[in-house]
Amino acid sequence: MMVTFIIVSALLALAAGKPCASDHENLLLSLNKQLLRSVYQTTDNQDNLPNPSVHIALRLSKHHNLAKESEHLKRLKAEFHDDIEKSLSNNEMVVGRLALYILALKSSCHELGSLYLTRNEIREPLLIHLKREMEEEKQNIEFSHRPKTSYYQYSLGILALCVSGIRVNTHVSHKLIHAVVHKQIKHGESSCVDSHAMAGMALQCLKDEGTAVKDAAELNRALATIKQKLLDSKRNDGHIGNEFSTGLAVQALLAMGSQIEECGTAMEALRTDGRKGTYHNPMAISQILPALQQHSYLHLKNKECRSEDDSLAIDAASVSEVLPNQGKVSVQVEIIKSNSASSVFSLHVPMGSSLYEALKLLQDKQSGFTFKTEESLWGPFLSEINEEKARQTDRRYWHVSSDGTALTQGIQDYKIDSAQTFTIKNTGY
């Protein structure tokens, strides 16, 4: 009787296990195809720049469309490269974008020494320019106790240099280690899960490579601090921080030596939201797909581009689904300027509209409201409302909340499915 019970239990476990593994692989394939489809879409729409983060995720995946990846790489080397040089001509810092660009090139095993940036008629290799900007960031931290950009971008810069085999100046690495240990990585009152995750991967890379640091014990302390910060940020539903920071958090935990079991609930949360269609922004997918395949940006250190699968394909002419008209919903938009002056606008928008579409409709239909956006790898973000700016360069941003809850998605991704009040406040950090 006991033998029969064991056999039946084993068969049930086997029957339960196979669909689970199959569902996981199907989800990975679906996300992979979504990313590839986004590459087709940016090719069709020349106003959209190719995304280096998308390229990294495609290259870290086990399924490839090598022809499309090669075409995307060419666009990165032309259009994204030119966009970086345009920013340099405007005396803008490019640490984060340049670091991602370098990581994307590394993911395709491209010879980094063959590409140059030109600024003020000075031509220098990508990695040399990144080192120069990191020195500039380090100097700013010394005098202002923070980078010109952010610790997220600063960490990306260290990671890109380390993964590329370039020695990171001990003074540069020490600024990040010190910031972690002394809890200086913050964005208002938020826990900055994504920034800590990126810092964790950057510092783990330095440790793995045996890169000299000012204080090895402090480096270990920083890594332990980051790991605990990420684990403490885990929600009851398994997400670490929120739905859109969990991918990087899992990457960081795996990179820092956590066992897959320790990330199990976070991985399941990613799978659950992935099946629900939560992740439709290519940037978001590009961060969760490597995590679900138990990869991180640190895998780019030893990336080889040989004997790769070339089976990934999609219907390039697929038509977007047209949703039926489900009526309109009432929306209120409250704008709070930096001097605390506020104004409130009301309108009705089609159900399923994005917040970006709602703001455009408001601008078209009502006087007294105007807004401008700037492009980012996540899509458009608010830069100006009613002629008041809130830019990252000024360490300000437009904080957006719905019925008192801060949005975790960008204005183009957030869909309005019920009546609600949005508060958009000019906020410093």
pLDDT tens figures, 204-238: 999 999 999 999 999 999 999 999 999 999 999 99
Within a domain: 79: yes
Kindly calculate the radius of gyration of the chain based on its CA atoms and give it in whole angstroms.
Answer: 23
pLDDT digits (tens, 9 = 90+) for 3-22: 444 444 443 333 333 446 78
What is the tally of structural domains in the chain? 2
Residue 283 sits in the same domain as residue 335 = no
- Whether 358 and 416 have beta carbons less than 8 Å apart is answered as yes
**% of the chain at pLDDT higher than 70:** 89
Which of residues 267, 302, 337 is at a domain's end?
302
Quote the pTM value.
0.89
Residue 171 sits in the same domain as residue 126 = yes
Residue 194 has pLDDT above 90, yes or no: yes
Within a domain: 274: yes
Residue 295 sits in the same domain as residue 333 = no
Within a domain: 67: yes
- Give the per-residue pLDDT at 4: 42
Within a domain: 150: yes
Q: Encoding tokens for residue 242?
A: 């929120």
CATH number, position 79:
1.50.10.20
pLDDT band at 37 (very low <50, low <70, confident <90, very high): very high
Residue 275 sits in the same domain as residue 363 = no
pLDDT band at 414 (very low <50, low <70, confident <90, very high): very high
Residue with tokens 């998605």: 409
Residue 33 sits in the same domain as residue 151 = yes
How many Å apart are CA 108 and CA 104, to the nearest integer? 7
Within a domain: 255: yes
Residue 356 sits in the same domain as residue 391 = yes
Within a domain: 8: no
The average pLDDT across 74-97 equals 95
pLDDT band at 428 (very low <50, low <70, confident <90, very high): confident
How many Å apart are CA 161 and CA 99, to the nearest integer? 8
**Phi, psi of 125, rounded to the nearest 5 degrees:** -60, 155
Residue 194 sits in the same domain as residue 280 = yes
Within a domain: 7: no
Residue 297 sits in the same domain as residue 356 = no
Domain with 29 in it: 22-302
